Each structure stands twice: as structure tokens, then as C-alpha cells.
């Protein structure tokens, strides 16, 4: 029997069919290509940063040793990322080819390689600095596409080697045609998906990069004061003073993140004002930028909960804007609207309060706002729970009255006014923890924006209140860390804490649910001393 020039001879030994080398490489490469392309497309639809290929690249950058990063920057300048992605491409190509070659007889080795690559993509996405649950969709789709394509093409390639049926060579040719057709289809779909993902995802990532570059160039006219080193006790179990982006709590009703570009953003300030204003993003950059360290708090935070985080927000003073617009007397509410239709009603008196520091924020911790936290523009108001103050993706502000208009959460039973309550939380020891006997250190946070904390007290097993030691004070707009040492005998103990704010209000013992205006009660922790 003769062989063709394009297909290597098949080996019809006792071990069974074997895929020709060239086709084996093709199967591996196309399967991995399908995984990358589909992953990129789904990421483009859901959240561009969840593209497994890019997430792996970001992870490499994050963990690369300093000398390597420095070398890459000097050697490749601004194309360092392109170089990294290309090197990754070459490595993946080699792994994909190897996956195909390992599977010349049986499918499983190659499928395993594709699954391992998929798991790497999933891990890279899941451990990214900013992660939300829907981000797993892209790596999962990627893995499914890779395995699916591998199985499909592998089956077709393996059947090339089936003993020719009665129709002889004709059947062989049609099988080959089928494999080539399927390969072309998989290749075309993968490339199309990759380009689609690029087009869909490009906008926001590029726009964020441009805004970050502008912020680096402009620098806030009034930067936030440095955080003193003694402002937090992370070694004792409190949070770090500034919350890492990955840990910053996220609350919104957006299943799909709004994807707004800075250049397309504009916002109208209208309603009960003398001079209606329309602002574009550049108008914000042209104004003096201020930076403020602010602890944001969610009204849905239960006693002891973690819906509280701190960042340096950069933006434009919102009071200045409202003064320029000339809010008319009688307008007691600013109703702000997000592109996703979410609305927030903020007391005008708070926004116009001198020194309150309400911001129209465009940056967080020196960078553009993350897409999850409202890119390109959001509101942040010290001292108010997020649902009445912190509109993300904000594009409209109307001066109105509480009587005339209500907002998203107020329509759903939450209070019209949402000032932040004076609260403390115990972070250590954790409930059910076991700690060595003798001296036990209790530690936690307390907050009362914008007043600030003047005292935190702790007591154990209902005993006498003892004053805790407060960490360095940063500002009334932020949380304050505390610690207290207590001598405890072995056994189970319950500790409680209560905060007092700068106005002299002590956190109430009365237990209240989060609805309608924020939970109250003293936090407690029950632990064993050994």
C-alpha cells in the first residue's frame, strides 16, 4: 500500500492506532488556541481582566523577582508587556505541541495537559488583586473549550488510522477532509473569539491605563498625608491601614460591570441649580485634584462584619462643583444616578458642609478607579454609608428634594438618611480560637466617620470595662485600630468591645439589625485560653 506525501505512514501494530506526528501537533496547538480564544472572548463579555492568558501574564509580573522586572523594563521599555505575552505564547505553543505528541495513541495525556493549563489560568484569575465571582467564567469556559476541541480533533485524527473500509482510499480521504475541515473551523472560531474578546475588553483596560498615567503626571494638589507606621497592628490580626485592592469590599447590584470609558464619560449637574453644569472627564483633570484617606462602610455590615475598607481616594472636591452649579435653597437632596440605573440620594447639607470633604473620585491608591469600584468616576462622602453616598459609574446628579424623589435602597425599605454609626470590631482573638494562657492581646478596629474615635473599651466575661490602647490617629474619616492586653486564666472567655467617638457618643449595647439604618450592639468573641 502506498503512502501519501502529506500524511506519514500509519503504524498498524498490535498496540493500535497512532496519530501521525504532524496531526498530533496540530490537535494540541488548536485545542490550546481554542482555550485561549474562548477564554479571552468570555472575559471580554464579563470582565476583561479575567482573561486567563492575560491573568497568567499579570501573575508572572506580580511574582517576578525585582532584577528580572528591572531588566525587562530597561531592555524592552514600554513593549515589555508585549514581549512577555509573546514569550508566553511561544512557551504555550511548545506545551501544546507536546500535549498533542503525548497523545498519539491515547487521548488522556493531552487532555490532562490542557486541564493543567486551564487550572493555571483559573488560579491566576482567582488570585488576581481584584476578583469577583463571575471572573471564574472565562477560565472555566477556556478549559471547557480546550478539552472539547482536543477531544473532537483527537477523535477525528485517530480515526484517520482506522482500517480502510470497503470504500478503501476514498474513506481515508474523506476522514482526512473532515479532520482538516474541523481543524480549520476550530482555528477560525478561536481566532475570531480572541479578536472579539480583544475588541470587547480593550476599551476599559486602555482607558484605565490612560487615566492612571494622567494621575501620575498631574499629582494631587493636596495629597493625602502619609499614614504613620503605628496606625495599624496587622501583626495582631487587625487589617492593614490601607486596604489591599483585592480585599476592598465590593457591594453593588451590577451583575455585569458597566464598561464606561473615561473619554466617553460626561455628567450633568442639574435640577434645582442656577447654573446647570455638564462635565467631561478632561474637565475633572483640569481642576485641582485632592487626595483623601477615607474609610468606606456599608450599611449592610453586621456587627463584627467586614464590609468596611480604607483607601486613598483622588478626585475633585464635590462641594466646589455644587457651589459652582449654585444649588438653590430648598434642594435638600442630591440624587445621583449610575449608568446601570442605580440611584443614590445624599443629603445636600452634608455635601455642602465645609470641611466634610465629599469627593467626585477618579482615582484610588494612586491609580484609576478599578472597574469594580466605579471607573471612571464615583462619589465618596466621608461619614455616610455607601448606599446614600458612594455612587459608582456616576453620570448624573440632580439637585432635588427627598419629598420629590427617592433612591434605589430607600425604595426597598432602607432609611433615607444613612450617617455612619460609632462602632468597634474585635479582630483578635477570633471566635473559637485557642490562645496560650497568661497575657492575651485583644485587637480590632473602631470607626465613627467623620467624627473619629476617642476611646475604645474592652471587658471580659462581663467584668469591668478597661480602656484599650489606640493606634496613631489618621483622621476622623478613617477607622482607628486598638489593642488591649488582658490577663486570663485557662478556660473559655468572652470579650466585648465598645467605642466612643470624638463627640462623646458611646456605642450602644442595643442590638439592631442592619435594616433600616445600620446594625448596632457590642461585638463579642468567645475563645479558649489553654
Ligand X SMILES: Nc1nc2c(c(=O)[nH]1)N[C@H]1C(S)=C(S)[C@@H](COP(=O)(O)O)O[C@H]1N2
Q: Which residues contact 345 (CB under 8 A, 6 or more apart)?
A: 333, 334, 335, 388, 402, 405, 406, 407, 410, 416
Separation of alpha carbons 5 and 141, rounded Å: 38
Question: Which is nearer to ligand X, 102 or 512 (by Cβ)?
Answer: 512
Whole-number minimum distance, CB 387 to ligand X, in Å? 4
Whole-number minimum distance, CB 297 to ligand X, in Å? 7
Separation of alpha carbons 360 and 288, rounded Å: 12
Question: Residue 135 interacts with ligand X (CB under 6 A)?
Answer: no
**Among residue numbers 80 through 109, which ones bind ligand X (CB under 6 A)?**
none
Question: Which is nearer to ligand X, 36 or 260 (by Cβ)?
Answer: 260
Question: Residue 252 interacts with ligand X (CB under 6 A)?
Answer: yes
**Among residue numbers 21 through 50, which ones bind ligand X (CB under 6 A)?**
none
Residue 253: name its binding partner from Mo ion, ligand X, none (Cβ under 5 to 8 Å by kind).
ligand X
Whole-number minimum distance, CB 385 to Mo ion, in Å? 6
Separation of alpha carbons 195 and 88, rounded Å: 18
* Alpha carbon distances (Å) from 435 to 229, 431, 496, 522: 27, 11, 17, 22
Q: Do the Cβ atoms of 196 and 141 come closer than 8 Å?
A: no
CA nearest to 41, candidates 199, 184, 148: 199
Total binding residues toward ligand X, as defined by CB under 6 A: 19
Question: Residue 522 interacts with ligand X (CB under 6 A)?
Answer: no
Binds ligand X by CB under 6 A, chosen from 131, 281, 342, 482? 342
Whole-number minimum distance, CB 448 to ligand X, in Å? 17
Separation of alpha carbons 81 and 27, rounded Å: 28
Question: Residue 376 interacts with ligand X (CB under 6 A)?
Answer: no
Q: In this structure, are strands 466-467 and 453-460 parallel, antiparallel, or unpaired?
A: antiparallel
Whole-number minimum distance, CB 284 to Mo ion, in Å? 24
Stretch that binds ligand X, among 17-25, 75-83, 245-253, 351-359 (CB under 6 A): 245-253
Q: Do the Cβ atoms of 19 and 103 come closer than 8 Å?
A: yes
Question: Which is nearer to ligand X, 201 or 258 (by Cβ)?
Answer: 258
Q: Do the Cβ atoms of 95 and 56 come closer than 8 Å?
A: no
Residue 390: name its binding partner from Mo ion, ligand X, none (Cβ under 5 to 8 Å by kind).
ligand X
Question: Which is nearer to ligand X, 180 or 251 (by Cβ)?
Answer: 251
Sheet holding 277-280, edge to edge: 277-280, 266-271, 394-400, 333-338, 343-347
Q: Binding string, 189-228, against ligand X, x = CB under 6 A?
A: ----------------------------------------
Separation of alpha carbons 40 and 293, rounded Å: 36
Whole-number minimum distance, CB 113 to ligand X, in Å? 38
Question: Residue 392 interacts with ligand X (CB under 6 A)?
Answer: yes
Question: Residue 338 interacts with ligand X (CB under 6 A)?
Answer: yes
Question: Residue 313 interacts with ligand X (CB under 6 A)?
Answer: no
Q: What 3-state DSSP class applies to 443? A: strand
Question: Which is nearer to ligand X, 343 or 507 (by Cβ)?
Answer: 343
Q: How many CA atoms lie within 13 A of 360 on its CB side?
A: 29
Question: Residue 365 interacts with ligand X (CB under 6 A)?
Answer: no
Omega of the bond prior to 450 within 30 degrees of 0, cis?
A: yes
Answer positive or negative: Cα dihedral of 79, 81, 84, 88.
Answer: negative
Provide φ and ψ at 497, rounded to 5°: -140, 155
Binds ligand X by CB under 6 A, chosen from 40, 292, 356, 373? 373
363-395 b/e (C-beta count within 10 Å ≥ 16 → b): bbbebbbbbbbbbbbbbbbbbbbbbbbbbbbbb
Question: Residue 250 interacts with ligand X (CB under 6 A)?
Answer: yes
Question: Residue 386 interacts with ligand X (CB under 6 A)?
Answer: yes
Question: Residue 298 interacts with ligand X (CB under 6 A)?
Answer: yes
Whole-number minimum distance, CB 508 to Mo ion, in Å? 21
User: Interface residues with ligand X (CB under 6 A)?
Assistant: 248-254, 296, 298, 338, 340, 342, 373, 386-387, 390-393
Amino acid at each position: 500500500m502506498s503512502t501519501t506525501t502529506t500524511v506519514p505512514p500509519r503504524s498498524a501494530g498490535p498496540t493500535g492506532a497512532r496519530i501521525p506526528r504532524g496531526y498530533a501537533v496540530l490537535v494540541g496547538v488548536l485545542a490550546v488556541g481554542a482555550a485561549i480564544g474562548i477564554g479571552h472572548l468570555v472575559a471580554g463579555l464579563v470582565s476583561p481582566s479575567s482573561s486567563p492568558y492575560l491573568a497568567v501574564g499579570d501573575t508572572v509580573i506580580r511574582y517576578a523577582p525585582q532584577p528580572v522586572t528591572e531588566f525587562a523594563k530597561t531592555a524592552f521599555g514600554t513593549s515589555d508587556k508585549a514581549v512577555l505575552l509573546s514569550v508566553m505564547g511561544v512557551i504555550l505553543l511548545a506545551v501544546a505541541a507536546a500535549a498533542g505528541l503525548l497523545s498519539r495513541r491515547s487521548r488522556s495525556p493531552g487532555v490532562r495537559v490542557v486541564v493543567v493549563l486551564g487550572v493555571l489560568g483559573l488560579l491566576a484569575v482567582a488570585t488576581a488583586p481584584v476578583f469577583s465571582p463571575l471572573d471564574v467564567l472565562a477560565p472555566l469556559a477556556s478549559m471547557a473549550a480546550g478539552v472539547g476541541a482536543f477531544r473532537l480533533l483527537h477523535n477525528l485524527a485517530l480515526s484517520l488510522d482506522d482500517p480502510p473500509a470497503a470504500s478503501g482510499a476514498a474513506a481515508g480521504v474523506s476522514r482526512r477532509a473532515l479532520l482538516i475541515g474541523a481543524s480549520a473551523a476550530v482555528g477560525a472560531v478561536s481566532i475570531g473569539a480572541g479578536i472579539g474578546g480583544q475588541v470587547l475588553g480593550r476599551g476599559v483596560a486602555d482607558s484605565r491605563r490612560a487615566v492612571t498615567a494622567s494621575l501620575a503626571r498631574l499629582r494631587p494638589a493636596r495629597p493625602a498625608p502619609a499614614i504613620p507606621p503605628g496606625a495599624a497592628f496587622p501583626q495582631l490580626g487587625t487589617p492593614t491601614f490601607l486596604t489591599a485592592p483585592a480585599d476592598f469590599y465590593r457591594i453593588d447590584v451590577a451583575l455585569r460591570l458597566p464598561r464606561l470609558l473615561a473619554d466617553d464619560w460626561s455628567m450633568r449637574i442639574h435640577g434645582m441649580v442656577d447654573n446647570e453644569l455638564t462635565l467631561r472627564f478632561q474637565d475633572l483633570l483640569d481642576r485641582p485634584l485632592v487626595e483623601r484617606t477615607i474609610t468606606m462602610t456599608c450599611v449592610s455590615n453586621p456587627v463584627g462584619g467586614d464590609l468596611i475598607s480604607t483607601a486613598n481616594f483622588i478626585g475633585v472636591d464635590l462641594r466646589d462643583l455644587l457651589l459652582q452649579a449654585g444649588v438653590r435653597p430648598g434642594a435638600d437632596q442630591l440624587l445621583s444616578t449610575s449608568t446601570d440605573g442605580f440611584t443614590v440620594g445624599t443629603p445636600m447639607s452634608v455635601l455642602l458642609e465645609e470641611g466634610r470633604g465629599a469627593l467626585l473620585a477618579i482615582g484610588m491608591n494612586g491609580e484609576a478607579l478599578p472597574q469594580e469600584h466605579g471607573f471612571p468616576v464615583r462619589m465618596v462622602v466621608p461619614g455616610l454609608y455607601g448606599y446614600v453616598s458612594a455612587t459608582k459609574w456616576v453620570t448624573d446628579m440632580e439637585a432635588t428634594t427627598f419629598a420629590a424623589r427617592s433612591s434605589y435602597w430607600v425604595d426597598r425599605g432602607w432609611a433615607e438618611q444613612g450617617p455612619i454609626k460609632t462602632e468597634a470590631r474585635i479582630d483578635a482573638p477570633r471566635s473559637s480560637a485557642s490562645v496560650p494562657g497568661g497575657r492575651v492581646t485583644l485587637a480590632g478596629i473602631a470607626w465613627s466617620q467623620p467624627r473619629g474615635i476617642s476611646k475604645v473599651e474592652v471587658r471580659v466575661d462581663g467584668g469591668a470595662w478597661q480602656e484599650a490602647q489606640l493606634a496613631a490617629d489618621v483622621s476622623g474619616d478613617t477607622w482607628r485600630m486598638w489593642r488591649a492586653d488582658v490577663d486570663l486564666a485557662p478556660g473559655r472567655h468572652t470579650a466585648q468591645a465598645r467605642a466612643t467617638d470624638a463627640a462623646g457618643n458611646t456605642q450602644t449595647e442595643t442590638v439592631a439589625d442592619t435594616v433600616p439604618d445600620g446594625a448596632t450592639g457590642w461585638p463579642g468573641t468567645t475563645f479558649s485560653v489553654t
